[in-house]
Structure 1
């Protein structure tokens, strides 16, 4: 959306909707994304919502934001791919006038850039084997999204990258790590790239999966803020006026 369009019509509110976690570091990491959005776009009303574990629920936040007089709402899934929460929970929440949902954050080349940086910080070296660990979903589109990111990471690193899932798809992360270890030579190690937004349940399981090195999740990172704002602007153009 152009600056002229922003000036011509009040922007809808942005509701950043994540899965939710009981992990305090994870909550802070997700909050950092929305704090970054507020810093970059002080004109926006920015709210936080969840589909599980935490409150408030996304449908309640959408309804309350509209009741408070917002000219519309765009829910940006703080999720890395489509799946049940996007297609069911978030879709139901925006099934009201003047509300839209954006695409999730992935796939996106900037996510690949973050993964490369996390691996570098973790000390990836020549001879290491890389496994991309994703949360997982039974939705076929989610698997395709993860595969696209794995392909991008493979190109960026100029080496093969295999995938392991935390749930919903195969192979699971421990199996992917074990298979990767069978292919090691010399002083190579199994290094996991955490395709997860923040610390929490799934990252804890990744840490237990038997890899030699596990890179940090994606957040916090300013590139996530950029992706959120791009998703918001794309969806905001489709929000019909209230009334």
Structure 2
């Protein structure tokens, strides 16, 4: 079974930190930094694990290849470096993990109140002022659970800011970020800011500049908060045990 250092289970634990993948050099650097922060955070929690790099799109190595190369019989958990449920977590990651014995999957990073605090800081850095309307911009998914998680994240950010926050999506769900910004202006907001609910710079973050807002916050990374959230999801998965043990 999967167990932390000093706990039950003689086999090594492998953590496969799986991101979407991006062509953006800054995005790649930040995701690599997140893996280093995650390894440090796991060590602080007493979890003895080897952290591996993997992607579901754009970059190599692909998740299936990383899992296939792990030593047979040793435990693994795929940690999605994704902010909410979506096709990649429900299909790509789930299928890859199901194909390898002794492999589990932890939950996506969000929603989490700690992410709301990071989003609020990013908005302040971008120039947020009292009275501004705020739109939380998520990447988007057709999976309803992921849409609900993004909406929950908007609620957490609203509690952090002390005023309502609308949720919008970069693709696959409605409203779009442009539509949400337009609705805020139509409602009389003097200024509209977009809170980027994205891990790192890349395709979706670049598109936020075209939504017509007065300002757009930077992505969530860098910062150790994301690693702490991922480590928390992994601790939950370790406690539950691997999803596949045969």
TM-score, length basis structure 2: 0.90
CA contact (8 A) 2:12 2:74 kept: yes
* Residue equivalent to 2:79: 76
Contact 2:16 2:77 in 1 (8 A): yes
Deviations 1:144-165 (A, max 9, x none): 0001111111111111111121
Contact 2:103 2:244 in 1 (8 A): no
**C-alpha deviation, 1:76, in angstroms:** 0.5
**Unaligned stretches of 5+ residues in structure 1:** none
- The whole-number CA distance in structure 2 between the counterparts of 1:48 and 1:106 is 20
SS, match of residue 81 in structure 1: coil
Q: What is the alpha-carbon distance in structure 2 between the residues aligned to residue 239 and residue 83 of structure 1? A: 21
For residues 202 and 97 of structure 2, what CA distance do their matches in structure 1 show? Answer: 27
Map of 2:148 onto structure 1 = 144
Which of 200, 212, 226 is matched with 2:214 structurally? 212
Aligned to 2:137: 133
8 Å Cα contact 1:17/1:77 also seen in 2: yes
Stretch moving more, 82-91 or 31-40? 31-40
Partner of 1:132, secondary structure, is strand
CA distance in 2, matches of 1:9, 1:108: 33
Query: 3-state DSSP class of the match of 1:29?
Result: helix
How far does the alpha carbon of each residue in 1:107-165 deviate from its partner, in whole angstroms, 9 at most, with x for none? 11111111111112212111211010010000000110001111111111111111121
Distance 1:199 1:89 in 2: 22
Paired residue for 1:193?
A: 195
State the partner residue of 1:94: 97
The answer on whether the counterparts of 1:12 and 1:73 sit within 8 Å (CA) in structure 2 is yes
1:220 Cα deviation (Å)? 1.3
- The DSSP-based 3-state class of the residue aligned with 1:100 is strand
Q: 1:48-85: CA deviations, max 9, x gaps?
A: 11111111111111111234xx7211000000111111
Residue 10 of structure 1: CA displacement? Answer: 4.7
Whole-Å separation in 2 of the counterparts to 1:94 and 1:211? 40
Q: Which runs of 5+ in 2 are unaligned?
A: none
Could you tell me which of 110, 116, 120 is aligned with 2:114? 110
* Deviations 1:7-55 (CA, angstroms, capped at 9, x unpaired): 7645511111111000011111111110112233454211111111111
The CA RMSD measured in Å over matched residues stands at 2.1
Q: Distance in 2 between matches of 1:54 and 1:3?
A: 30
Distance 1:83 1:138 in 2: 7
Contact 2:139-2:198 at 8 Å conserved across structures: yes
Distance of 2:107 and 2:65 partners within structure 1: 20
* 3-state DSSP of counterpart to 1:13: strand
Matching of residue 34 in structure 1 with residue 30 in structure 2: no
SS in 2 for 1:164: strand
TM-score of the superposed pair, with normalisation by structure 1:
0.91
